[in-house]
Chains A and B, each alone.
Chain A
Amino acid sequence: MLQKIYDWLDTRLDITPMWRDIADHEVPEHVNPAHHFSAFVYCFGGLTFFVVVIQILSGMFLTMYYVPDIVHAYESVYYLQNEVTHGMIVRGMHHWGASLVIVMMFLHTLRVFFTGSYKKPRELNWVVGVLLFFVVLGLGFTGYLLPWDMKAYFATVVGLEIAESAPIIGGFASTLLAGGEIIGAQTLARFFAIHVFFLPGALLGLLGAHFYMIRKQGISGPL
């Protein structure tokens, strides 16, 4: 059945070559945990991506119940956490996953660093990776405010104070991020927009570049 559907599509769209190009390539022995168990360190990048996919999916579902408004934000989070069936699980996935992305990404960075995989010709991919790191930190920072409880609010107060302490552009950056002089209605709307549209957009673009370069340059050789 599935084979028939695939064949039907394939005769019309010729998807097999695309499929080959994306997925059908050999995994070198030195990165295959079946050959050397220690090669599991090469899985960290893929695991980071896996957690990112969970973050995107759970985040999409959370926005069905969340409203970025200072009057109702906390109530809507409380509602989805305590009244909606499995809301606690989905918010839990997003909450814990947020930390897990950063942990996995850090381990992935360590692997790349200690295997020297950032060296020529892969310097650009390292740069893209560092940009991805900043985007993920940004997602963590903006997402932290959204529940609009005391912890969220004062974490953002501290975060914006840090931004303000930057020389010359500090005041400008802080006002721009907060959407005004007060951390309030405009800050929440802005952080929400950045969290669900701007940064995920940047994330997907950078991930595309990251993966394209892996395919183009191949996996770095054994130590």
Chain B
Amino acid sequence: MSEERKHRVSRRQFLTYTLTGVGGFMAAGMLSPMVRMALDPALEDTDDSDFISIGLSEDDVTEEPQLVNFDVEIEDGWYTSEQTQSAYVFRQDGEILALSPICTHLGCTVGWEGNQDYPDQFYCPCHHGRFEPDGTNIQGTPPTRPLDVYEVEVRDGMVHLGNIRERG
């Protein structure tokens, strides 16, 4: 019995390999477009949304946070809709800051000076989460990171908001 003989492939083995190979190739050819199609939402690039005007003049932005509502066009597959979003817009050290009012704890809506006991703070009524005026979460309250910020741009004197961004 030579070494060579050991490695000889029997007819049955050869058929098993080729049939499995061809079958696997066909199955892959059939399934790969389907699987790619199903995975599409997860593999799609998140497109950067355009900056949109919130109808607020640069001159009207004060040190005091003011709640501004604005409509955003939401594209959801084949369905396009308008959604009202809001932001607290104010000046800090001359820079315009736009904070999302969504609490970073569990997604309730925070209010500026929403509780009389905590003036000059954002307050979340759900679990008493609190944030500093610049959006930083206050230690000892449930939220674990600062309020999200919108990208801000001033065009022709009007405040425009872009993507929402996490901090911390």
Q: A residues within 8 Å of B by Cβ?
A: 54, 57-58, 61, 64-65, 72, 75-76, 78-80, 83-87, 89-90, 93
Residues of A within 8 A of B36 (CB): 85-86
Residues of B within 8 A of A90 (CB): 33-34, 37
Residues of B within 8 A of A78 (CB): 78
In chain B, what residue has the closest Cβ to A80? Answer: B37
Contact of A89 among B33, B43, B44 (CB under 8 A): B33
Contact of A84 among B31, B37, B79 (CB under 8 A): B37
Instruction: Provide the bound-state CA to CA distance between A9 and B107, in Å.
Output: 47
Question: Given A57-B30, A86-B33, is A64 in contact with B38 using a C-beta cutoff of 8 Å?
Answer: yes
17 contacts between A and B (CB under 8 A): A57-B30, A57-B31, A58-B34, A61-B34, A61-B37, A61-B38, A64-B37, A64-B38, A65-B77, A83-B77, A84-B37, A85-B40, A86-B34, A86-B40, A87-B37, A90-B37, A93-B30
Residues of B within 8 A of A89 (CB): 33, 37
- Nearest-CB distance from B131 to chain A (Å)? 39
Instruction: Provide the bound-state CA to CA distance between A76 and B78, in Å.
Output: 5
Other contacts beyond A84-B40, A89-B33, A93-B30: 12, CB < 8 A: A54-B30, A57-B30, A61-B34, A61-B38, A64-B37, A65-B37, A65-B77, A80-B37, A83-B77, A85-B36, A86-B34, A87-B37
Interface size class, chain B:
10 to 19
Instruction: Provide the bound-state CA to CA distance between A85 and B44, in Å.
Output: 9
Q: Which of A57, A79, A83, A85 has the most CB of B within 10 A?
A: A85
Question: Given A61-B34, A61-B37, A90-B33, is A85 in contact with B43 using a C-beta cutoff of 8 Å?
Answer: yes
- Nearest-CB distance from A67 to chain B (Å)? 8
In chain A, what residue has the closest Cβ to B36? Answer: A86
Instruction: Provide the bound-state CA to CA distance between A75 and B80, in Å.
Output: 11
Question: Given A54-B30, A57-B31, is A86 in contact with B78 using a C-beta cutoff of 8 Å?
Answer: no
In chain A, what residue has the closest Cβ to B80? Answer: A75
Instruction: Provide the bound-state CA to CA distance between A96 and B6, in Å.
Output: 48
Contact of B78 among A54, A57, A58, A75 (CB under 8 A): A75
Using a CB-CB cutoff of 8 Å, which residues 68-87 of chain B contact chain A? 77-79
* Interface 1/0 per residue, B22-50 and A, CB below 8 Å: 00000000110110111010011000000
Instruction: Provide the bound-state CA to CA distance between A89 and B79, in Å.
Output: 22
Residues of A within 8 A of B44 (CB): 85
Instruction: Provide the bound-state CA to CA distance between A93 and B38, in Å.
Output: 15
Residues of B within 8 A of A64 (CB): 37-38
Instruction: Provide the bound-state CA to CA distance between A89 and B33, in Å.
Output: 7
Residues of B within 8 A of A80 (CB): 37
Contact of A85 among B30, B31, B37 (CB under 8 A): B37
- Nearest-CB distance from A81 to chain B (Å)? 11
Are A79 and B34 in touch, CB under 8 angstroms?
A: no
Instruction: Provide the bound-state CA to CA distance between A86 and B36, in Å.
Output: 7
- Nearest-CB distance from B65 to chain A (Å)? 39
5 tightest A-B CB contacts, nearest first: A79-B78, A75-B78, A86-B33, A89-B33, A61-B34
